[in-house]
Structure 1
Amino acid sequence: MKYRFPENFWWGTATSATQSEGHQAGHGKGENIWDYASHNFNERFFGGVTADDTSTFYQNYREDIQRAKDIGLNSFRTSISWSRLIPDGDGEINPQAVDFYNAVIDELNTQGIEPFINLYHFDMPMALQEKGGFENREVVDAFARYARICYELFGDRVRYWFTFNEPLIPAEAGYLHPRHYPYVTSFRRAAQVLHHIVLAHCKAVAAWRELNIAGQIGIIMDVIPVYPRSDAPEDLHAAEMADLFYTRSINEPILLGRYPDELIAILKEYDQLPVIQPGDCELIANTRIDLLGINYYRPRRVKARETLLEEPHGFMPERFFEEYIMPGRRMNTSRGIEIYPAALYDIAMVVKDRYGNLPWFVSENGIGISDEEQFMVNGQVQDDYRIEFLKEHLSYLHQAMVDGSNCLGYHMWTFIDCWSWQNAYKNRYGFYRLDLETQQRSLKKSGLWFKAVIENNGFEEAK
């Protein structure tokens, strides 16, 4: 069977500033929460690898962008580091950061690679986190100022802007299920953070529109589709609750301009509503994006709760559902998550049917495998598992497009093996292998396969 994609389809990869740039002393970068946490809570990070030791894109951007060109990428998503550009988050601009990001954007454009620039990828400046981070409403305005500065500095050469990557995660992982700094467990605080992130997004979009810059502005969502154990009413209700708290809670204010009525009713009942000031709901209602990025890695399978949930820290959404371990599910054992390519089709149909068929693209999708050296043959990682993963997901994406989904591209996570938050370099995702000791990059088999896909604007799969 032949899978052909439209002309001008975005074939690219995604990364972030903190996960790829690395640290270089004397270049003016301010500390962010990952710099701080990876040093001060080092035991939480696999192998003790800190944010200092990411993939040296800061020093090697020119050669790395050439590598992107070598495999045919026509688009490349990364982020600007707020704390590199504005070291304390709300003060003076770092001229060395301006020079760096100008050089990266110019080099991408010179090589014919479209820069997709994201403003926030989990990396709150530490100086602002010490003031409360997104719990503090003043930080919303600091973010809007930072966004405007980025547009003014780089907007003449960047056509695609994104306010946040996975905006639910800073609230959920930092303030509810404590995987990210500041490692808090409090639904009320998480809800306040999420509301302020929504406002920060809205104000950043407003700043972009006020400047009347050519291009498009959007946001990147992490979508984990929810599947019930069965069609029993109690399981269906469990799935509805999981979807309400972990998907609709952020998607609907951003994409539909309002919080779900069901969510508001539950939070009122349990006294968990965030503080919402006059004018907030109007701002949300009047904000619309041009383009949606969707990150997809795994499904969520749930069932009605069969045991009483202990809540030592107070209210938790999981009181309404619990995980369902489906017999026979296919697992990525390195990452401990299910592989389910068909969900990408389901996501596409949700965007089509629930969100007005908004223009969108796959902004992240990938498979992280540990100890990839075991698959090395003659100096090249033979990652056939990644090729198979790509084929399966792209085939479902293609079918969704045939069925009317307005999908414009596919970005793989990631280009070069990068530092993955608390997992550091445990699992590798890249088309290029990174040798941590020498920082040498070498193309994996999947990178050659993806190059052929781009050259042919598709692939053939025997049936």
Structure 2
Amino acid sequence: MTTQKLSFPENFWWGSAWSAEQAEGRGETGKAETVWERWYAEQPYRFYNRIDSSITTDHIHRYKEDVKLMKETGHNSFRVSISWARMFPEDGVGAVNPKAIAFYRDLFTEMNKAGIKVFANLYHFDMPAKLQDKGGWESREVVNAYVHFADTCFKEFGDLVFHWFTFNEPLGPILGSYLEDFHYPNLIDFKRGAQAAFFTILAHAKAIEAFKTHGLESKIGVILNLSPTFPRSQNPADVKAAEIADLFYTRSFLDPMVKGTFPSVLIDLLKTYDQLPDYCEEDLQTIHEHTAQILGLNYYEPRRVKARSCAVNPDSPFLPEWFFENHIMPGRRMNEYRGWEIYERGIYDLCMDIKENYGNIEAFISENGMGVANEERFMDETGQVIDDYRIEYIKDHLAYLWKAIEEGCNIKGYHLWTFIDCWSWINSYKNRYGLVSLDLPTQRRTIKKSGEFYKKLSDENGFEYEVDWLV
């Protein structure tokens, strides 16, 4: 076998990411109820071990300690989200909260002093509950409230933030809230989901429009969860199924948010089934004129599909699965804890798609990671998690990322999910993803073996790798 040093470009962004709802805890600053807090109050049994987001990693009280841990694990950049509910604690609008401003300014200042670039995301699934009552992303009123929130953040934190992002995985709340029952308010209604998706894209564009008025040196973009879509075979029926799945799950947000236009084939399909949202020409013009300047790519697994093997029940709700079925590829390698396929080359395929079809826009891997249950099994006598499986996972994906960069992809960094084990929505702490382990009752943080590896990786801006199979 041939071992080679895989070196990354100068000033490569090494870091990780998490969100306000998953890490901060409620704290004492004042905070509106979020949809997650409401859902937990209504259906606590839907959450693993009935653990809510009231404390999580308690980052709001421990951020100085956490910034030190960022440095100890090799971070030169880190993505946070800014809590809309904390910034506007009445109901997501109204008066801005000076205690929230003070907290985020303190956190961002601490990060900058430590040489850690602040990547600030404005929305990570945490809608204020009272705005959800007004229709959530189905409502123009909520779009306007979001733009006001975003504009306030640009004004208050623009001097401290390196790059901005309008949304993390905007497809997630659409799937979870309207199609797949894993986000509040747990509806099954594609057309309402299409409306929410359209207004999310409009909110992205309007936030970028507001950003441009501030004259900041930073860039603004969006973070999308993207999976390359593979047909079961080259049979025309399988290929067609994959094309339609890709339209729904990839191009639906990627095209308008980066190119400023919607795929015509998707428009025609939704029109045929009477699933188009309401909009006006001014909306389309705004979306066309205000697109992402930088793109975050969240990659975890590929999407594999095949032609449907049976007819659709015409009385069932309209869903993307009317046009394809998921394909379980024989021999696939799995993360058995999360139920996701591990396919390292997919990160290369994704980057090449962005290079070839989206103008090679400046981009970075904004999430990639491996969740594992019961990691205490892998603790040594000192209490450190010896997570060689996570180190192997990171190396294998980075090798294909290196290959993509060598072939001209405009990739500027790699952020792992996540920094310290954090609360993971309805899965709570079932699976752990962090470079740093968390003992939830004591809040004790301990750097895992992967955290030590990540520091060395960042310091050396690369790693040794057996490249024979890198094809």
TM-score tier after normalising by the smaller chain length: over 0.9
Letter in 1 for 2:409: S
Quote the residue 1:453 is aligned against.
457
Distance 1:449 1:226 in 2: 31
- Runs of 4+ with >3 A deviation: 309-313
Aligned counterpart, 2:206: 203
Q: Could you tell me how far 1:313 is from its partner in structure 2?
A: 5.0
Offset of residue 365 of structure 1: 0.3
Equivalent residues in 2 for 1:22-37 (5 A)?
22-24=25-27, 26-37=28-39
Equivalent residue, structure 2, for 1:81: 83
Q: Given the alignment of the two structures, is residue 400 of structure 1 paired with residue 401 of structure 2, yes or no?
A: no
DSSP 3-state at the match of 2:281:
coil
- Select the residue among 428, 436, 440 that pairs with 1:436: 440
Partners in 1 of 2:44 and 2:397 — Cα distance? 35
Amino acid at match of 1:172: L
Alpha-carbon separation, structure 2, partners of 1:310 and 1:170:
25
1:72 CA displacement: 2.1
Deviation at 1:309, TM superposition (A): 3.3
Aligned partners of 2:258 and 2:292 also within 8 Å: yes
Alignment counterpart, residue 247 of structure 1, candidates 250, 275, 280: 250
Alignment of 1:151-300 (within 5 A): 151-300=154-303
Partner of 2:43: 41
Q: Structure 1 residues 59, 239: CA separation in 2 closer, same or farther (over 3 Å shift)?
A: same
Deviations 1:193-234 (A, max 9, x none): 000000000010000001111211111010021111001100
Q: How does 1:128-143 map to 2 (within 5 A)?
A: 128-143=131-146
Is the CA contact (8 Å cut-off) linking 1:222 and 1:294 kept in structure 2?
A: yes
Which deviations, in whole Å up to 9, do the C-alpha atoms of 1:106-133 show, x marking residues without a partner? 0000111000000000000111011111
Tell me how far apart the structure 1 counterparts of residues 137 and 143 of structure 2 sit (CA, whole Å). 7
Q: Is the 8 A contact 2:73 2:435 kept in 1?
A: no
Report the equivalent of 1:7: 10
Q: Determine the C-alpha separation between the residues in 2 that align with 1:159 and 1:295.
A: 19
TM (norm. structure 1) is 0.98
Deviations 1:328-351 (A, max 9, x none): 100001001100010000001000
Given that residues 74 and 457 in structure 2 are in contact (C-alpha distance below 8 angstroms), is that contact kept between their aligned partners in structure 1? Answer: no
Per-residue deviation, residues 369-423 of structure 1 (Å, max 9, x unmatched): 0000001112111100000000100000000000000000000000000001111
SS at match of 2:198: helix
Is 1:186–1:313's contact at 8 Å kept on the other side of the alignment?
no
User: Offset at 1:41?
Assistant: 1.4
In structure 1, distance between residues paired with 2:127 and 2:280: 23
Distance 1:325 1:37 in 2: 32
Alignment match, 2:63: 61
1:334 counterpart SS class: coil
Q: Residue 299 of structure 1 aligns to which amino acid in structure 2? A: P
Where 2:54 maps in the other structure, the secondary structure is: helix
User: For residue 235 of structure 1, what is the amino acid of its counterpart?
Assistant: D
- Work out the CA distance in 2 between the residues paired with 1:311 and 1:417: 44
Of 325, 328, 339 in structure 2, the residue corresponding to residue 325 of structure 1 is 328
Separation in structure 2 between the aligned mates of residue 284 and residue 231 of structure 1, nearest angstrom: 35
Distance in 2, matches of 1:301 and 1:242, equals: 9
Q: Matched residues in 1 for 2:280 and 2:294: separation?
A: 28
- CA 313–132 in structure 1, closer or farther in 2 if over 3 Å, else same: farther
Partner of 2:352: 349
**Residues 235-274 of structure 1: CA deviation (Å, up to 9, x unaligned):** 0001001001111111111111111100111111101100
**Equivalent position amino acid for 2:83 in 1:** S
RMSD: 1.0
Q: 2:115 aligns with which of 94, 112, 117?
A: 112
Question: For 1:377, what is the secondary structure of its paired residue?
Answer: coil
One-letter amino acid of the structure 1 residue matched with residue 445 of structure 2: R
Q: Which runs of 5+ in 2 are unaligned?
A: none
AA in 2 matched with 1:435: D
CA contact (8 A) 1:293 1:363 kept: yes
Corresponding residue SS for 2:154 = helix
Distance 1:452 1:93 in 2: 41
Letter in 2 for 1:9: F
Q: 1:115 to 1:312 in 2, by over 3 A?
A: farther
Q: Are the structure 2 counterparts of residues 316 and 102 from structure 1 closer, same or farther at C-alpha, using a change threshold of 3 Å?
A: same
Q: CA deviation at 1:37?
A: 1.1
- Residues in 2 aligned to 1:386 and 1:71: alpha-carbon distance in whole angstroms: 14
Report the Cα distance in structure 1 between the residues aligned to 2:315 and 2:29, rounded to whole angstroms: 44
1:302 corresponds in structure 2 to: 305
CA distance in 2, matches of 1:77, 1:28: 23
1:82-117 deviation digits (Å, cap 9, x = unpaired): 000111111111111111101100000011100000
For residues 453 and 396 of structure 1, what CA distance do their matches in structure 2 show? Answer: 16
1:167 deviates by 1.1
Structure 2 residue 383 is matched with structure 1 residue 388? no
CA contact (8 A) 1:39 1:50 kept: no
Q: Is the 8 A contact 1:185 1:313 kept in 2?
A: no
Cα distance in 2 between the residues matched to 1:133 and 1:368: 30
